[in-house]
Structure 1
Amino acid sequence: MSALKVLQLTDLHILPHAGDKMLGIDTEQYFQETLAHAHATHGPFDLILLTGDLGQDPSADSYRRICKHQQTYQTPCLCLPGNHDDWELMETELNVGFVSCRKHLLLKNWQIIALNSQKPGSPAGFLSQEELVFLQQTLSTNDMPALLAVHHHCVASGSSWMDTMQIENGEALLAIAERFVQVKAITCGHLHQEMQTNHEQIAIFATPASCFQFKPFATEFELDELAPGYRVFELGDDGDLRSRCYRLPISMNDLQTNLHSY
C-alpha cells in the first residue's frame, strides 16, 4: 500500500470581498497559487487540511469562495477554525461536496482528528473539556495511527508575542496524546512560520501561512519576507510519518513590511 499524502494549508485570511487586500497583498490570490503549486508539484493528495484562520473578518461569501476553490481539486478537505473564524458560519458554508468540518476522519489505516482551539473573544487558544473528552474517547476506541490537527500551537515557539496566544491548556492536550502510542504527530497553524519539534514520541509541527509570514523568534509583531508555504505529510501504512514544508518560488514585493499590526 502506498503512503497517504496529506496537504496542510493554514492561515488563509481570506477577506470579505474578492480582490480585497491586506498588508498590501491579495490573500485569496496567494491561497489559490499555493493550492495550485502544491498540486502541480506533489499532487494528487488523499486529503487537504485547512487548519484555521480561513477568513479575516469572515463572511458567508468568503467561506463560499474558499469552498469553490477547494472543489476544483475534488479531494476531501477538512476545515478547522482559528481565532479569526466564525465556527457556526463555517459549519454552514464549509460542509459542501468534498469540503467538510468533520472532526474525525478514517483514511485507509490512519485517523485524522480535528480539534477546535477557539477561545471566544480571545486570540489565544483553549481546548474545552468537550474537546478533550472527544480526543480521549476517540483515541480510546481506535488504535489506528493518528495525526492530530489544531489551529493554535500547544508548545512554545520561541516567538514571545505569539506564545502569549498558544493553547492555554496545551499541557492537557499533550497529557492525553502522550498516553496513546498511536498518536504520531500534532500539526497546527497560527504561527505563520515553520516549526518542528517533539514531545515524548509525538512530532509537533507548525506550517507557514498561505499568505504573509511572521518573523521567527520575534518579540512583537514583525513580518517576514518569506513566500507563502504549505506542508506535505506522507503517512505510511506501517504508521511511519514524514513531513516537509514547501514555499512558492516568488518574491513578496507587494507586502507592506513596515506595518505593525493587521
Structure 2
Amino acid sequence: MPQYPARTILSPDEQVNVLQITDMHLASIDDITDENVASKHHCRQSFEAVIEQALSEDIRCDLILVTGDLVNEVKTSIYDYIFEVLSATNIPFACIAGNHDVTDEIDSHLPFSQRKLVAKTADKRLLSQHVIDTEYWQLLLINSAVAGKIAGEITDLDIDWLCTQLNTCDKPALIVLHHHVLPMQSEWIDAHIAENTAEFWRRMSAFKQLKVIVSGHTHQEQTRDHNGVTAYTTPSTCYQFQPYEDDFAYDKDAQPGYRWLQLANTGRVASWIKRLDT
C-alpha cells in the first residue's frame, strides 16, 4: 500500500493520470435524530460512489488529489473514515484543506451573513507546501484555507515557496489549491475567492513552465485561461452550485462529479469532467 502522502509518481507510459475529487463535505452520522441525517448519508454515499465509478473506468489512475472541504464539521473520526476509503484504493493520494476543514459553520441553515464561523485547527494529514514529482511534471500543493473564514488567501509566504520551487525545477508545473484564483462571474462565490491573487498572478507570470491550476470550492465546472495558464474548477462529489448566479443557488440538475487530468511527457494536459451515473 502506498505511503501517505504521495511524493513521487512513476507510470509505465510516461503519462500520469490524475483523479481530482473535491468538496465532499462529509459529516458525522452518529446522531440519527439529526434532521440533516439524510443529507449526511447522501454526501457519504455519493463520495463512495464517485470513488467506485472513477476507479472502474477504463483508465489507469496514478494519483488521487483531494482538493479541500473534505468535511462539513471538523472531527478526526470523519477524516479517519476518508483516509481509510482512500487508502483502500492502493493508489497514491494527497489531501489539502478547504475552508470547511479549518472552520465550523454554526446555524448553516441560515444565510451566509448570519452564520457564526468558528476557527478550527486543520487535521495534521492535510498538506501545505507539498511537492509531488513525476518524471516530467511537478505538482505543487498549497493551503489557501484561512481558519474562521470562508474566503481563502494565497499568502506571500506561499508565493515565495512556489517561486523557489519553480526557480529550481523547470519541469511543467501544476498548482493545486482549494480556492479559485480567477472570478467565476458569480457575485456570491467570488466574494469568497482566494485573496492576494493579483500578486500571485504577477509573480507567477515569470514562469513559463506553469501550465495548470486546479481548485475546488466552487462546486461547479469551469475552465479559464490566463497568462498562458489553464485554471480548472471542479464539481463537488456531493451537491452543486448554480453557475453564473449572483445570489446563492443550488444546481439541482447537476450530478456529483470529478475531474481527470492526463499529464503528458510533452507538457500538454488533457482534462475532462465525469458525472456520477444516475
Q: Same fold (TM over 0.5)?
A: yes
- 3-state SS, counterpart of residue 94 of structure 2: strand
Report what 1:46 is aligned to: 62
Q: 1:101 to 1:22 in 2, by over 3 A?
A: farther
2:252 equivalent to 1:240: no
Matched residues, percent identical? 30
1:51-130 → structure 2 map (5 Å cutoff):
51-86=67-102, 88-91=121-124, 94=125, 103-130=130-157
Hey, what's the Cα distance between the residues in 2 that align with 1:23 and 1:69? Answer: 19
Please list every run of at least 4 consecutive aligned residues from structure 1 whose deviation after the TM superposition is greater than 4 angstroms. Answer: 22-25
- 3-state SS, counterpart of residue 34 of structure 1: helix
1:1-262 → structure 2 map (5 Å cutoff):
1-17=13-29, 21=37, 23=39, 26-86=42-102, 88-91=121-124, 94=125, 103-225=130-252, 226-250=254-278
Q: 1:160 to 1:103 in 2, by over 3 A?
A: same
The alignment's C-alpha RMSD in Å is 1.9
Deviation at 1:72, TM superposition (A): 1.3
Hey, what's the Cα distance between the residues in 2 that align with 1:24 and 1:67? Answer: 18
Deviation at 1:23, TM superposition (A): 4.5
- 3-state SS, counterpart of residue 123 of structure 2: helix
Counterpart contact for 1:90–1:101, Cα < 8 Å? no
Hey, what's the Cα distance between the residues in 2 that align with 1:217 and 1:26? Answer: 26
List alignment gaps of at least 5 residues for structure 1. 251-262
Counterpart contact for 1:230–1:246, Cα < 8 Å? yes
- 3-state SS, counterpart of residue 122 of structure 1: coil
Hey, what's the Cα distance between the residues in 1 that align with 2:266 and 2:182? Answer: 27
Structure with the greater alpha carbon radius of gyration: 2
List alignment gaps of at least 5 residues for structure 2. 1-12, 103-119
Hey, what's the Cα distance between the residues in 2 that align with 1:70 and 1:42? Answer: 19
Q: 1:129 to 1:67 in 2, by over 3 A?
A: same
The total of aligned residue pairs comes to 244
Deviation at 1:120, TM superposition (A): 2.5
